[in-house]
Amino acid sequence: MGQLAGLMEEVVWSLPAPSQEFMQGPHILVLPSKVILRWDSETETGTYEWASAEFTGVETVTFTAHSSCTPDQARAYDRLVKVDPSDMLANLRGAGPKCLQHFRIYFDEIGCLDVVAEDFIPPREQ
């Protein structure tokens, strides 16, 4: 867990392969109350395979292109962190009794995905 200028970032999960090695990913599929994150990575045989993870109970999602990312966003390089305190959480209205968390991950030279959701489900072990 790291701290900078009052911002706490708890690492929830790390990409199994560096994002700089993606051939086509990441792909971000936004559905009602769910976001699916897909990425491709090279296997030992040199082929590329896709893997995915999910955010459930999603209230809001934003993607910021690499050129517009802040240093706080870039610090989530190839790892999913919980952001606390979170302006995104503080600015939500009407989320009801949900227990929401602000998740963030930054992909090399691509950008940053911020998701406010109830939970994150990592990829299944293969």
The pLDDT score that the predictor gives to residue 123 is 95
Tens digits of per-residue pLDDT, 29-67? 999 999 999 999 998 999 999 999 999 999 999 999 999
pLDDT band at residue 9 using 50, 70 and 90 as cut-offs: confident
| Residue 123 CA from chain centroid, whole number | 13
Long-range contacts of 123-126 (CB under 8 A, 24+ apart): 123/16, 123/51, 123/52, 123/53, 126/51
Average pLDDT, the chain: 92
Residue 109 has pLDDT above 80, yes or no: yes
The pLDDT score that the predictor gives to residue 5 is 52
Strand partners, 55: 35, 120
The closest alpha carbon to 107, from 14, 36, 10, belongs to 14
pTM across the whole model: 0.91
pLDDT band at residue 8 using 50, 70 and 90 as cut-offs: confident
